[in-house]
């Protein structure tokens, strides 16, 4: 299962990101490798939730009861806001489209169940709410995105109440910054122009890695076949030999097709191939991974369970795990996948194609996660899309600094709340 070459590349980068703080990741991972895989017990998740709850309760002696949950339209962006019975608030920016498409599940099965709960128990609330009614049957990205969005806002609340970044509750800080890759989301416009945009963001941020799209998203047809075959060598030529390249297939290929593309990617020294096959098809991912010699296979953006990530590691379907902190049910559940990755000696590179306020929550997780591999995602054009109503989300010298302001670490212009409309409230 272990490919030493791939593995070492992963942990070396993780090590390089820890900057001035002690690095436990490499030691733990190396230790894990000493034990032959087949006699290891499956990872049981350890005591992460209990440890976090203990830290939170050490900071707050009394319960912090959640009074209401609201989805707020500020005209700039949708926000999820949590208010406790004393009127203290935590917020997170949220994905409006995902919310609208999944509203019943988001509000009725997920969000409203947090009302009346003690926010100090937030690390374990997602586990508890899963046992409500028949919630466990309805899980998926829509359910866990609802749970995750509320959980993230609760961490903002707790951090602000304690006047500390949220990550201080999550574990010992192991890094203060981390290297980013520039993530392109474009499949339709001419690739030459998109390459120009990517290289401008590279120049503005000092980043040394790029991810771009291959295949057609859930299909492998023309013009995407030709575009892929042309763009990969073109990108290598334009970026030069010193830039790390990654690609994202978004479920485009069968295993056989993906293996053919993989050969071409390896010829151009692409270092990971994200979601080559339909995301649910772990067996095909395993076949592609088994065929790889230098390129890592990554995935997990839509996955929403500890068990599925455990399975990826156990059967060797992925070299690198990529949960999304929102879709996967929040910061603690995502951090747990980093611990899982550390246990199995695989990579951890969360999905987060953001350059705005939604980048804050993953950043808080990165501060403490034992394994963090490759580079982390930063959206192309982020240098131009910064808004005057929030503190900047902008890497320098290729690195993003972990926010140090209280809560999630994003500071908002208080004016944005003046035009707010409450779109949904647990009180109505």
Residue 310 binds a second copy, judged by CB under 8 A: yes
In the list 82, 170, 255, 402, the residue contacting a second copy (rule: CB under 8 A) is: 255
Q: Residue 357: which residues within 8 A CB-CB, separation 6 or more? A: 77, 92, 93, 390, 393, 408, 410, 412
- Contact between 293 and 272 (Cβ < 8 Å): no
Sign of the four-CA dihedral 181, 182, 185, 187: negative
From the list 23-31, 130-138, 172-180, 370-378, the region that binds a second copy by CB under 8 A is 130-138
Residue 284 binds a second copy, judged by CB under 8 A: yes
In the list 314, 394, 411, 423, the residue contacting a second copy (rule: CB under 8 A) is: 314
- Rank residues 12 and 280 by Cβ distance to a second copy and give the closer one: 280
CA angle 108, 112, 113 (to 5 degrees): 100
| Phi (first) and psi of residue 423, to 5 degrees | -80, -40
In the list 1, 23, 28, 138, the residue contacting a second copy (rule: CB under 8 A) is: 138
From the list 2-10, 103-111, 232-240, 329-337, the region that binds a second copy by CB under 8 A is 103-111
Residue 130 binds a second copy, judged by CB under 8 A: yes
| Phi (first) and psi of residue 127, to 5 degrees | -65, -40
Q: Which residue has the tokens 């953001």?
A: 354
Q: Which residue has the tokens 């503190």?
A: 391
Residue 143 binds a second copy, judged by CB under 8 A: yes
From the list 15-23, 52-60, 278-286, 416-424, the region that binds a second copy by CB under 8 A is 278-286
In the list 32, 65, 315, 405, the residue contacting a second copy (rule: CB under 8 A) is: 315
- Contact between 242 and 208 (Cβ < 8 Å): yes
Min separation Cβ 136 and a second copy, Å: 6
In the list 103, 124, 176, 425, the residue contacting a second copy (rule: CB under 8 A) is: 103
- Rank residues 93 and 252 by Cβ distance to a second copy and give the closer one: 252
CA dihedral 360, 93, 90, 72 (to 10 degrees): 180
253-256 LR contacts (CB < 8 Å, sep 24+): 253/215, 253/220, 253/277, 254/220, 254/284, 255/281, 255/284, 255/285, 255/287, 255/288
Q: Which residues bind a second copy (CB under 8 A)?
A: 42, 97, 100-105, 108-109, 130-131, 133-134, 136-143, 218-219, 251, 255, 278-284, 287, 301-302, 305, 307-308, 310-311, 314-315
């Amino acid at each position: 299962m272990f490919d030493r070459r791939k593995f070492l590349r992963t942990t070396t980068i993780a090590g390089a990101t820890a900057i001035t703080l002690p690095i436990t990741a490499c030691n733990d991972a190396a230790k894990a490798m000493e034990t032959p895989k087949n006699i290891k017990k499956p990872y049981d998740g350890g005591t992460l939730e209990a440890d976090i709850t203990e830290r939170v309760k050490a900071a707050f002696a009394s319960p912090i009861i959640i009074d209401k949950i609201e989805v707020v339209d500020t005209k700039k962006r949708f926000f999820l806001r949590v208010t406790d019975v004393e009127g203290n608030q935590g917020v997170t920016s949220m994905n409006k489209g995902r919310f609208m498409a999944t509203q019943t599940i988001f509000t009725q099965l997920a969000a409203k169940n947090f009302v009346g709960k003690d926010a100090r128990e937030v690390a374990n609330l997602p586990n508890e709410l899963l046992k409500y009614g028949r919630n466990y049957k309805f899980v998926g990205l829509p359910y866990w995105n609802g749970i995750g969005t509320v959980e993230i806002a609760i961490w903002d609340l707790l951090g602000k109440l304690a006047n500390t970044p949220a990550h201080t509750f999550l574990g010992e800080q192991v890094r203060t910054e981390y290297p980013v890759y520039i993530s392109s989301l474009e499949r339709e416009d001419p690739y030459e122009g998109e390459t120009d945009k990517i290289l401008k963001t590279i120049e503005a941020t000092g980043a040394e890695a790029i991810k771009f799209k291959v295949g057609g998203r859930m299909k492998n047809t023309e013009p995407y076949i030709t575009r892929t075959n042309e763009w990969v060598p073109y990108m290598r030529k334009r970026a030069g030999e010193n830039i790390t390249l990654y690609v994202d297939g978004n479920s485009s290929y069968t295993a056989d097709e993906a293996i053919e593309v993989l050969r071409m990617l390896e010829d151009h020294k692409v270092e990971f191939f994200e979601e080559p096959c339909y995301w649910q098809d772990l067996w095909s991912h395993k076949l592609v991974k088994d065929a790889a010699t230098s390129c890592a296979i990554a995935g997990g953006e839509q996955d929403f369970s500890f068990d599925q990530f455990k399975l990826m590691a156990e059967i060797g379907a992925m070299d690198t795990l990529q949960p999304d902190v929102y879709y996967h049910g929040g910061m603690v559940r995502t951090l747990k996948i980093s611990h899982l990755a550390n246990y199995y000696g695989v990579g951890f590179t969360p999905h987060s194609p953001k350059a705005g306020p939604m980048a804050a929550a993953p950043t808080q997780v990165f501060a403490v996660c034992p394994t963090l591999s490759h580079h982390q995602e930063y959206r192309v054009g982020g240098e131009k899309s910064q808004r005057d109503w929030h503190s900047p989300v902008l890497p320098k010298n290729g690195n993003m600094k972990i926010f140090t302001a209280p809560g999630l670490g994003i500071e908002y212009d208080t004016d944005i709340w003046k035009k707010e409309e409450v779109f949904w409230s647990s009180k109505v």
